[in-house]
Amino acid sequence: MRAEEFTEDHPSNVNYDKAYDSFVSAEMRGVDKGKDGTGHYIRTYGANKKNDPQGYKKGSSAYGPAQINGTTAKDYTTRYPDKFKDQTAYTDQYHNQASQAIKYGREPNKAGYDKRHDYGGKGNLSGTEHHAPYQKMAKTIMRQMDHELKSKNPKANVHDLIKRWRGKSYDQDPEYYDAFLKTYNQQRQK
């Protein structure tokens, strides 16, 4: 990606390769990547807390180095099918895996349970053959998020993208923003 990308009629100064690496840095703090990189291809460890009865029951399907939840992936692939048309084989697998995570997370006594789908589990898409399709899907989602932000506010920047991706402001999660921005600002131009 060039330093300046263009999403339709809204120019962006966000570099999506750098943003991807930076989201991974922020999301995977303290998680060992492993020799083959598969250590980052896991379902979140961050299960919703019991004091949030609705969230606890629903759970989180966030998966992979950038921790994309199944709802976000489904939303973007449904609303922008033309942007994902060459990725449907992978995105279909991703949606299926997210459904398995929600169905079997915290349910070890449920028929069909497999620890791969529980919190911290590897899922079905941790093999190295799934790494490039995951990154492509993640960057496509980022690009579309950025386009949406720019269509509402042409001055939206990488800070707005972080807030949209994370769902929290800097004041709510300064460590996340700091980890992202440290990586983003240290990278050479890709």
Return the structure tokens found at 21.
């690496």
What total of structural domains would you count in the chain?
1
Percent of the chain residues topping a pLDDT of 70: 86
Spell out the alpha helix ranges (H) of 105-130: none
Cβ atoms within 10 A of the Cβ of 148, count?
17
The Cα–Cα gap between 97 and 36 comes to 21
Residue type, 9: D
d(C-alpha 84, C-alpha 59), whole Å: 26
> 142 lies in which domain range?
5-186
Give the pTM.
Answer: 0.88
Q: Which amino acid is at 47?
A: A
The top-scoring range by mean pLDDT among 3-7, 34-38, 56-60, 153-157 is 153-157
